[in-house]
Amino acid sequence: MTQYIDIAVNLLSDRLKHDIDTIINDAAKHHVSPLIVIGSDLDESAEAITTCQQYPQQLYCTTGIHPHHASSWNEHSKTRLTQLARQDTVVAIGECGLDYNRDFSPRPAQRKVFAAQLELACELNMPVLMHCREAHADFIAIVNEYRALLPNALLHCFTGSKDELIECLAADLHIGITGWVCDERRGQELARLVPLIPDHRIMVETDSPYLLPRSMRPKPKSSKNLPQYLPYIVEYMANLRQQSPTSLAQACYKNSRDFFQLPANKHLSSHL
């Protein structure tokens, strides 16, 4: 049986949080389990932990401060983030990084808070789930400062250039690919790059509820992307890589389990 792990689900977004049971069960019917719930600020990270505790082995989460929320960092943030990160359901620090596309927080604050979270991940010996949008030069410079002490590092939702991909792989980063690759308008360059990612460094994600794969047919009635669509993204990527969907799914699943140090999924069969 082919299994999948969705490594980035914004389950606590307003578009998803009221349907958690249904989303988890529908995903499991498509062999997508567990789901990694993203924490994008400290309050959401705490809520993610509470939610994961209600769904053991089906949900795990990250705890961190997204660059959009970097301005919220204060003298108490590191202490609170440390306490959150030590909870059993937490599998990575993040989502952290840089976003120069929207600049919801000033860039100096983004860089400071990103570095602080990488430093904490080194102290706690935890992997990091990272975000980079239109900020590659500063992003890779900061990552390389800490990379030697990080057990594992993932750039999720990669949408960069070939040169950026090469630099990320040189830093031994895992690369997360979303349904962006299925977008005939914006995803053409990414489609050309997906075959360049080594089998042992590639992961797959929905970034639900965002980035619904545009090429899905029949097209879902809702514009809301869901974890149950993950196998479609894998199949699309496998075609680009001239690889069987099963072998790519197995590689992504193994990479994800190893990266987040997840136990073997004994829970999946009970939900099929």
Residues annotated within a binding site for a divalent metal cation: 95, 131, 156, 207
| Angle between helices 136-146 and 162-170 in degrees, nearest 10 | 10
Question: Could you tell me which residues are annotated as the binding site?
Answer: 95, 131, 156, 207
Max CA pair span of the chain = 50
Euclidean distance between CA atoms 176 and 130, whole angstroms: 10
DSSP class of 229: G
User: In terms of DSSP bridges, do strands 202-204 and 4-9 run parallel, antiparallel, or are they unpaired?
Assistant: unpaired
Structure tokens at 74: 């204060």
Euclidean distance between CA atoms 239 and 235, whole angstroms: 6
